[in-house]
Amino acid sequence: MTLMIILGGIAALYLIGLLFRLASLALPVCLGLCAFHLLRDQGYGWGAALAMGLLTGIGLHLTGRWLFSRTTSANIRLLIGLLFMAPAGAAGLGAGTALAGLLGIDGGWRTCLAILVGGAAASASWRSLAADRSSIGAMRDEPTVR
């Protein structure tokens, strides 16, 4: 019984970590799904709609990360970061509300937990973008050997 509790706790911590790692993907996934449903509703086949949804999501993800890492303007970086943080925060807010429901928390504490998880997911999205910027910047600063 004790082993089951320990393994359940480890699994729960893993899933919470996975939520925060995947937070930066909320915007590309949502727009990819929107592109898929838009093309599917307009009469295109499943294959074409799926391919366009995947290309939209992956393209937006790579373009956003590339722009965030290459731009030198703080305002543009802030705008790109906020574009990725807003859907991640909304996804975290929903996950926090569901977690509070599973734990049986009601009232104001439910709202506090949901806001806390939403803020943590949004900051995880920002950290994910900023980590890519620092790793790319470090690669650019290396001296070239000839």
Mean model confidence pLDDT for the chain: 84
* Over residues 44-68, mean pLDDT: 91
Query: Which pLDDT score, from 0 to 100, does residue 130 have?
Result: 81
Q: How far apart are CA 84 and CA 22, in angstroms?
A: 11
Task: Please count the residues of the chain.
Answer: 146
Inter-residue contact 29 to 9 (CB < 8 Å): no
At residue 51 the predicted structure's pLDDT band, cuts being 50, 70 and 90, is very high
Distance of alpha carbon 66 from alpha carbon 146, whole angstroms:
28
pLDDT at res. 99:
83
Say what the pLDDT of residue 92 is.
87
Backbone angles phi, psi at 104, to 5 degrees: 80, 25
pLDDT tens across 83-98, in order? 989 998 998 898 888 8
> What burial class does residue 23 get, using C-beta atoms within 10 Å of its C-beta: 0-12 exposed, 13-18 middle, 19+ buried?
buried
Q: Which two tokens stand for residue 65?
A: 């990360």
| pTM of structure | 0.72
